[in-house]
Amino acid sequence: MARAFVYSKFLLPLFLGLVLVACKIEEAKPEISKKLVLASDFLEAKDTVLFKRFSKKTGIRLKILNLNASQIAQKLKKEGYNSSIDLVFVKSLNSVKILAKTKFQKLDANFLREKTPSLKAFKNATWLVAGLDPFVFSYIPDSTKTAKNYSDLSTNFTWASPQSSDEFSVLLAHRGSYSKKDAKWKKGFIQNNVAFNSENDSVKNRQFLVIKHSFFIKNKSLSQNKKRVLFFPKEKKTACYADRWCFAVVDQAKNYESAKTFLMYYSKLSLSKNFKKQHGVFPKIDKLKNPKIFNIKEEVLLKNMSF
């Protein structure tokens, strides 16, 4: 009896000690790694550096897949609900049009209102406007008269662009095809487009250019050419036309919470002066002084676009 008492007196502390050690080992297990896979038609894998503060702040490891809109659509269709992509980030409503048959997650109205106020929802809250990318004019001043608005480019002025003709379907979509006046304007605009002189580099090029603002900012030979004028045209003396950068969360995304966290981070980031200066796009809702953008619903632009 005495011997049993001695054993129990000795073993009890040992047992408790082992339990405490086991608990500490359990607590020391690393957290499950959080990640986010973003598919984009303009960001590349190396561009994760643009969001290093996001990863540092949240602990979410970001991976970027550079795919065009058609490739994104094919990948999502093939992978179904087991998709490796969580978030889609595209540079144009052209891409949104291509992805029209792809199902995306409808986002909660309270989340959008309270957490991402600078990102405007459209298409039944399955897409978000990440930024407005104005169609601007750029030219080198001389003695000749230059175009002041988009209407001028359908009559007496020729224009060129280093960007593909597909980029301008959104610009044309700002006017419907129902009236003879708009149809005539579209026809003239297309006819007055001349080939971009690619034999000369952008520094030597003296053509009147129509380009997206983000392209101008990224193209150093254009943006750093002090002779070139950057002009935000105002149609009917009101505002300029613009394309949209857009987000969509993949339906049944594996890392849904990480996607929402990224949208909240981007919503604040897009309002910063440095972001606008670096990328050339402007938030849909902005209290700061920016070029006035023509107010038209994204659904209307998509409807007016044709392929």
CA distance 270 to 130: 8
Q: What is the DSSP secondary structure assignment for residue 293, as one 8-state letter?
A: B
Query: Could you read off the pLDDT of 30-65 as tens digits, one per residue?
Result: 445 699 999 999 999 999 999 999 999 999 999 999
Question: Which two tokens mark 135?
Answer: 């169609």
pLDDT for res 271: 85
Domain boundaries, the chain: 34-132+243-291, 134-231
**Which residues of the chain, if any, have pLDDT below 50?**
1-31, 307
Domains 34-132+243-291 and 134-231 in one fold: yes
Superfamily name and number for 34-132+243-291: Periplasmic binding protein-like II (3.40.190.10)
Largest pairwise CA distance in the chain:
114
Helix then strand then coil, in percent of the chain rounded to 5, is 40, 20, 40
| Residues 79, 82, 87: CA angle, nearest 5 degrees | 85
Q: How many CB atoms lie within 10 A of CB 276?
A: 19
pLDDT for res 26: 40
Classify domain 134-231 at the CATH class level.
alpha beta
Q: What is the secondary structure of 52-113 as a DSSP string? A: HHHHHHH-EEEEEEE--HHHHHHHHHHHGGG-S--EEEESSHHHHHHTTTS-BPPPPHHHHH
pLDDT for res 143: 60
CA distance 294 to 109: 25
pLDDT for res 151: 92
pLDDT for res 11: 45
pLDDT for res 88: 98
Q: What is the secondary structure of 230-280 as a DSSP string? A: EE---BTTTBB-EEEEEEEEBTT-TTHHHHHHHHHHHHHHTTSHHHHHHH-
